[in-house]
């Protein structure tokens, strides 16, 4: 009997430990942000042994969305897919391809309260039936970064960044006169200079409440204000005040290198700017036109959320739910917010960050939150349009014609709206 017991024990010891259930997480975080994503997975994996989250970089947002769709069609979708905000309508329309996050967490007994989230964030990822479809993860908004050293050199007050667009123009002129080769640039042309300019001034970007009201929505991004703004950018480009540096976030390197003195882009660029810049810099609100009634309102949401793909095993869904529970922890969210510049997502995380003294110690880091916690209107809630990944590309193409001198601002925006509305018609006709 004793020999039998010893033999059984030796067999048991020889058997491999139960392998952790692997959770594939496809994302679009590169640079300093990839380090953040990897650290989140490492921390979660270290806290338990049942599940192993494996982050996989799949390229820029548009590339990872395309890869995710292709993988699903091939029956090889990841468990979690990070999708940028403008892919929300496409994902919501992908019936059968996704598992609503609210349903998942309820099934797995994980507490979930949509009211805990900042309203502008929660509303964006909530379906018309009130169900939250994806987990808010790295929500950002558009902010204004500026080089304080360049401002001082140009005789500008480094502690008083321009608040209005005429003030931006005046600052750019002084920067150019002081020898700066690139006074002003931007990242994410459509998101910052069209979508955010729309919500910031409380004017519609598209009909049907910017698409939240239904798939019959059509673009309005060639309104007098949009045209006026791009005519200004067109003039500043010709005068050497504004320089276009490429699509998506390509322009960011021109700021961190010291080449460009002012840039508009994502609050989520904070981590990269903090790491790579060798000069004093500051953060301020997005500029506005003071003569537009009601401005400023609130800026538009950016960043991305985490979608759960359909067709996974109960054990895998349990792992996803546990990981989402970890990500929803106020301390985890607060630390992520401090590290990256992304919004704290929940009110509790915001209060925790505020109580820690972080905003006082790091002036400007509160800007993104302040821009988003204002009252949201039907005009400023955000943009939810079908085929919007393609539409953003259209706007990039047409506005690039402005900087190349091929089209006027009005011609480019008119063409972009016409082509974009054709995409919306196709989306509507497809029955989504």
Q: What is the mean pLDDT of residues 11-18?
A: 54
Find tokens 């079908």 and name the residue.
386
CA distance 135 to 304: 9
Please list, in sequence order, all residues whose beta carbon lies within 8 angstroms of the beta carbon of residue 249, skipping any fewer than 6 positions away: 187, 188, 265, 266, 269
Q: Where are the domains of the chain?
A: 11-140+302-361, 142-300+386-429
Residue 284: CB atoms within 10 Å: 17
CA distance 211 to 390: 15
Question: What's the pLDDT score for residue 432?
Answer: 64
Backbone angles phi, psi at 53, to 5 degrees: -85, 125
How many angstroms separate the first and last alpha carbons of the chain? 68
DSSP H helical ranges for 142-297: 148-153, 165-177, 189-190, 197-200, 207-210, 224-238, 252-256, 270-276
SS3 220: coil
pLDDT tens readout for residues 107-157: 999 998 888 988 778 888 988 888 999 999 999 999 999 999 999 999 999
Instruction: Provide DSSP, 152-185.
Output: HHTT--TTS---BHHHHHHHHHHHHHTT-SEEEE
Q: In 247-346, at which residue ranges do the beta strands (DSSP E only) sit?
A: 260-266, 281-284, 302-309
SS3 302: strand
Question: What's the pLDDT score for residue 17?
Answer: 58
Question: Which residues are paired to 288 by β-bridges?
Answer: 164
Residue 342: CB atoms within 10 Å: 28
Question: What's the pLDDT score for residue 375?
Answer: 80
Q: What's the fold here for domain 11-140+302-361?
A: D-Maltodextrin-Binding Protein; domain 2 (3.40.190)
Q: What is the mean pLDDT of residues 207-226?
A: 96
Q: Provide the whole-model pTM.
A: 0.89
Fold matches, 11-140+302-361 and 142-300+386-429: yes
Q: What is the mean pLDDT of residues 242-261?
A: 97
Question: Does the pLDDT of residue 351 top 80, yes or no?
Answer: yes
Are residues 300 and 225 in contact, defined by beta-carbon separation less than 8 angstroms? Answer: no
Task: Please provide the CATH number assigned to the domain covering 142-300+386-429.
Answer: 3.40.190.10
pLDDT-derived band at 16, boundaries 50, 70, 90: low
CA distance 304 to 137: 6
Burial letters 181-192, b for 16+ CB under 10 A, else e: ebbbbbbbbbbb
Question: Does the pLDDT of residue 11 top 80, yes or no?
Answer: no
Q: What is the mean pLDDT of residues 62-87?
A: 94
Find tokens 């821009």 and name the residue.
371
Question: Does the pLDDT of residue 267 top 90, yes or no?
Answer: yes
CA distance 124 to 286: 21
pLDDT-derived band at 4, boundaries 50, 70, 90: very low
Residue 51: CB atoms within 10 Å: 21
Question: Does the pLDDT of residue 373 top 80, yes or no?
Answer: no
Q: Using a pLDDT cut of 70, give the percent of the chain over it.
A: 96
Average the pLDDT over each of 164-178, 375-389, 390-404 and give the range with the smallest value: 375-389
- Count of all residues that appear for the chain in the document: 432
Residue 11: CB atoms within 10 Å: 9
Question: What's the pLDDT score for residue 276?
Answer: 96
Q: Which of 86-90, 361-365, 421-425 has the highest mean pLDDT?
A: 421-425
Question: Does the pLDDT of residue 207 top 90, yes or no?
Answer: yes
């Amino acid at each position: 009997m004793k020999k039998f017991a010893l033999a059984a024990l030796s067999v048991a010891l020889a058997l491999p430990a139960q392998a952790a259930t692997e959770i594939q997480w496809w994302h679009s975080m590169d640079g300093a942000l990839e380090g953040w994503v990897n650290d989140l997975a490492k921390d979660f994996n270290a806290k338990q042994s049942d599940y192993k989250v494996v982050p996989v970089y799949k390229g820029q947002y548009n590339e990872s969305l395309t890869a995710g769709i292709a993988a699903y069609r091939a029956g090889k979708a990841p468990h979690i897919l990070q999708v940028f905000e403008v892919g929300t309508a496409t994902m919501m329309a992908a019936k059968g391809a996704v598992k609503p996050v609210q349903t998942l967490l309820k099934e797995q007994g994980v507490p979930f309260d949509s009211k805990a989230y900042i309203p502008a964030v929660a509303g964006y990822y909530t379906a018309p039936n009130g169900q939250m479809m994806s987990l808010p993860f790295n929500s950002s908004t558009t902010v204004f970064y500026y080089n304080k050293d360049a401002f001082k050199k140009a005789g500008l007050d480094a502690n008083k960044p321009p608040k209005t667009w005429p003030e931006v123009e005046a600052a750019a002129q002084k920067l150019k006169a002081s020898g700066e080769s690139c006074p002003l640039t931007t990242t994410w042309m459509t998101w910052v200079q069209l979508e955010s300019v729309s919500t910031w001034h409380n004017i519609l970007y598209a009909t049907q409440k910017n698409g939240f009201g239904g798939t019959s929505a059509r673009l309005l991004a060639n309104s007098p204000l949009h045209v006026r703004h791009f005519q200004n950018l067109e003039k500043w480009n010709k005068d050497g005040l504004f320089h276009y540096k490429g699509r998506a976030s390509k322009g960011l390197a021109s700021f961190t290198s010291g080449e460009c003195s002012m840039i508009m882009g994502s609050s989520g660029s904070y981590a990269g700017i903090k790491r790579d810049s060798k000069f004093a810099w500051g953060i301020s609100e997005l500029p506005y036109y003071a003569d537009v009634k009601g401005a400023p309102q609130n800026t538009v949401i950016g960043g991305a959320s985490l979608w759960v793909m359909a067709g996974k095993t109960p054990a895998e869904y349990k792992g996803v739910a546990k990981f989402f529970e970890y990500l929803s922890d106020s301390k985890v969210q607060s630390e992520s917010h401090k590290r990256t510049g992304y919004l704290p997502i929940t009110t509790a995380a915001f209060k925790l960050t505020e109580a820690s003294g972080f905003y006082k110690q790091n002036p400007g880091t509160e800007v993104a939150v302040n821009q988003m916690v204002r009252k949201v209107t039907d005009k400023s809630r955000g943009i939810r349009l079908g085929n919007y990944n393609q539409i953003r590309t259209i706007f990039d193409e047409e506005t690039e014609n402005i900087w190349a001198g091929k089209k006027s601002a009005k011609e480019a925006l008119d063409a972009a709206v016409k082509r974009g509305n054709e995409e919306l018609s196709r989306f509507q006709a497809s029955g989504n």
